[in-house]
Structure 1
């Protein structure tokens, strides 16, 4: 329920409400309060920005901050526990917890903020709106973070936790975003921001991370929009036989400038570019890697495809061609034979390229 700002609340939060008409009636000094953070966004969709405030009394420096959302001069949400600090085991003098942000979601996409503070748009069913985000911040953790996205619910006139995203970064080089997963099940989902306890949620998310890493919790891997766009451009350039544009676009998929000495392909290719919900897309990217001359990247990605999708015949063909290109003829022969067997079982033997039979015969006759 939306509450009118009472005298006590005004005394605490007046510095942040100084633009409200009733503020001057109380004459509270701005020097008496600490404004830690101020954001503005139209969370409710009424055409007017709400004020998102993080505040703390100066007289209580060790007191945890309070999160407020103000709508039309009224407190829509007061969340006193949302930003509870968590003692960090890595550094006893520091604390972990949640950072408050605002992100924009559009039709079919939303945004995540990774552990490096970089914002990335991802393909995800969503509506056009602004959302409140609480993202985990943990001293000494450069590998992953969680994004908790809260959205306004008109039926209850409250802000509810709508989505949880796990972002992983490449801790071996560049610290760039490696993957984004949408968590499918969590007791936190659907909770009201007003009653959200940041300390308990932080602990629960650490447990959730362990479950996700061991396959004991379900999630969906999501595709960043820039990767999808780059793939479409690379495919278009390949089909148009525009070699220069094709090579330039394919280079954007590589980290460390494409140097294995800077970013070993094993450290990110499969994690970044294999999508369980789109194995055909991953196979096609593996093919494009091979066509661009990035054979190591193609081999890593296509091996992931056949491991997860052992009946995807064309992936064996693409993988065999990649092994052949680097003179690993033994592995190429194995993959060509598996491809041939699958095509035979599927009644598609007439579609097998001539080079497959020729290369198999050449190796068997050595």
Structure 2
């Protein structure tokens, strides 16, 4: 780590009567001046908010970053690759909260090494959420502002105080939520689905969309309606979410398509094409009462934008009550 990868990360377990573990970053063999970090404040062992018999703590992981992506750990201790612009190649340390009896969410605190200051500085603070109703698969990864904990280094990091602040941030999250990050897996699946759809490869397209919808839940025990918006709606990237909603409809997953597209429109009402995609999914569900207003909204917005000539013929036909194809 850090100094030419000559350093190693050690977690020295505290005894049964101790209040913390010890975090040490140093060579396997070396002089004291070669030690980059030696602290017992970062890894507290504190009583759980769920039971006095349980302990909350931080686990420590070392990951190798690559440009545009980073690894985070979900509440089931599965590693997930996430798209993130700032990440550069090189090692970083992740402190991951571990609350016993809490398999729903955790926090990942990512520290990178600053060669100038020779300190590991907090670079990113993430909340990772799993589905709490069935298969516990990953639902979302949100980025909290660094100010939640304040600028800090591993050397000055106080894990006990951080746990208190993270619990407060979890309860007091802003109304619109925190900025969500996209997993590399989700982005890759959408790219594959779009490629198969454009080629007219129906079999491959439906297979990819099935994987995108159900993930690892091969037996279908987890209803997609319980997580579709939480997993695939990104307020900062309405175009991406709209594409997923459109493809869900094209693959025959109309209920999930409607849920996602309604979320897109609710947060980004200027997204004109979403009204058409939503109307088509409603129409496929034989819900004409909701399809027709969506078609009319789409047509009105296209006309106002001077694009009336680009409105598909089915819009006028279905808006007038003609079934069409």
| Fold shared per TM-score above 0.5 | yes
* SS of equivalent to 2:172: helix
Distance in 2, matches of 1:99 and 1:117, equals 10
What stretches of structure 2 of length at least 5 have no aligned partner?
Answer: none
Superposition RMSD in Å: 1.8
Pick one of 167, 171, 175 that aligns with 2:132: 171
How many angstroms apart in 2 are the aligned matches of 1:283 and 1:174? 26
1:57–1:344 CA distance, 2 compared to 1 (3 A): closer
> In the alignment, is the contact (CA less than 8 A) between 1:265 and 1:296 conserved in 2?
no
The answer on whether the counterparts of 2:66 and 2:89 sit within 8 Å (CA) in structure 1 is yes
Any residues of structure 2 matched to 1:262-273 within 5 Å, and which? 262-273=221-232
Q: Does 1:51 align with 2:11?
A: no
Match of 2:155 in 1: 194
Aligned residue pairs, count: 316
Q: Does 1:223 align with 2:168?
A: no
1:1-366 aligned at under 5 Å gives the runs: 43-44=1-2, 46=4, 48-56=5-13, 61-71=17-27, 73=30, 74-125=34-85, 126-212=87-173, 214-215=175-176, 219-255=178-214, 256-257=217-218, 259=220, 262-362=221-321
Tell whether the 8 Å contact from 2:19 to 2:44 is kept in structure 1 after alignment. Answer: no
Q: CA deviation at 1:57?
A: 6.5
CA-CA distance at 1:56 after TM superposition:
4.5
Q: CA deviation at 1:104?
A: 2.1
Conserved in 2, the CA contact under 8 Å of 1:161 and 1:188? no
For 2:109 and 2:22, the matched residues in 1 are separated by: 17
The Cα shift of 1:195 comes to 1.7
Q: Secondary structure at the match of 1:152?
A: strand
Structure 1 gap ranges (5+): 1-42
| TM-score, with length taken from structure 2 | 0.92
Secondary structure of 2:147 counterpart: coil
Say if 1:85 and 1:198, in contact at 8 Å, map to a contact too: no
Offset, 1:263 = 1.9
Offset at residue 213 of structure 1 (A): 5.5
Cα distance, 1:281 vs. partner?
1.0
Runs of 4+ in 1 over 3 A off after TM superposition: 256-259
Q: Which of the two has higher C-alpha Rg? A: 1
Q: Distance in 2 between matches of 1:142 and 1:190?
A: 28
Q: CA–CA distance in 2 between the matches of 1:176 and 1:122?
A: 15
3-state secondary structure, aligned to 1:140: coil
**Is this contact kept in 1: 2:124–2:146, CA < 8 A?**
no
What TM-score do you get using the length of structure 1 for normalisation?
0.82
Matched position secondary structure for 1:65: strand
8 Å CA contact 1:251–1:258 kept in 2: the answer is no
Supply the distance in 1 between the matched residues of 2:270 and 2:48 (Cα, whole angstroms).
47
Q: Is the 8 A contact 1:336 1:356 kept in 2?
A: yes
